[in-house]
Amino acid sequence: MRVGGTGDGKALIQVRDVSKTYTGGSETIQVLQSLNLDIDQGDYVAFMGPSGSGKTTLRNLLGGLDVPTEGSVIVAGDALSAMSRARLTEWRARHVGFIFQMYNLIPVLTAFRNVELPLLLTPLGKAERKTHVETALRIVGLSDRIQHYPRQLSGGQQQRVAIARAIVADPTFLLCDEPTGDLDRKSASEILDLMDLLVHEHRRRS
Ligand code: ADP
Ligand code: MG
Q: How high is the pLDDT of residue 186?
A: 93
Q: How high is the pLDDT of residue 106?
A: 96
Write out the H or E segment, with its range, that includes residue 131.
helix 126-139
Q: How high is the pLDDT of residue 8?
A: 67
Between CA 179 and CA 57 the distance in angstroms is 16
> What residue ranges define each of the domains in the chain, with the CATH number in brackets?
1-83 (3.40.50.300), 94-206 (3.40.50.300)
Q: Which pLDDT tens digit goes with each residue over 39-75?
A: 999 999 999 999 999 999 999 999 999 999 999 999 9
Ligand 1 and 23: CB distance under 6 A: no
Find the 155 Cα to ligand 2 centroid distance in Å: 19
CA atoms within 13 A on the CB side of 83: 22
Phi, psi at 99, each rounded to 5°: -130, 120
Q: How high is the pLDDT of residue 203?
A: 87
Nearest CA to ligand 1 atom 22: 22
Nearest CA to ligand 1 atom 20: 57
Mean pLDDT of 85-113: 91
Q: Which pLDDT tens digit goes with each residue over 147-186?
A: 999 999 999 999 999 999 999 999 999 999 999 988 999 9
Ligand 1 atom with the shortest distance to the CA of 50: 3
Find the 94 Cα to ligand 2 centroid distance in Å: 24
Residue 205 confidence class, pLDDT cut points 50, 70, 90: confident
CA distance to 3, 54, 103, per residue, from 36 (Å): 6, 14, 30
Residue 49's Cα: distance from chain center in Å? 18
The set of residues, in sequence order, having a beta carbon less than 8 Å from that of 68 and lying 6+ positions away, is: 18, 19, 20, 32, 61, 81
Find the 48 Cα to ligand 2 centroid distance in Å: 10
Ligand 1 and 53: CB distance under 6 A: yes
The set of residues, in sequence order, having a beta carbon less than 8 Å from that of 143 and lying 6+ positions away, is: 134, 137
In this structure, the chain runs to a length of 206
Phi, psi at 125, each rounded to 5°: -80, 175
The set of residues, in sequence order, having a beta carbon less than 8 Å from that of 30 and lying 6+ positions away, is: 19, 20, 21
Q: Is the pTM of this model over 0.85?
A: yes
Ligand 1 and 181: CB distance under 6 A: no
Ligand 1 and 31: CB distance under 6 A: yes
Ligand 1 and 113: CB distance under 6 A: no
Find the 49 Cα to ligand 2 centroid distance in Å: 9
Phi, psi at 164, each rounded to 5°: -60, -45
Mean pLDDT of 195-201: 90
Contact between 194 and 163 (Cβ < 8 Å): yes
Mean pLDDT of 101-124: 92
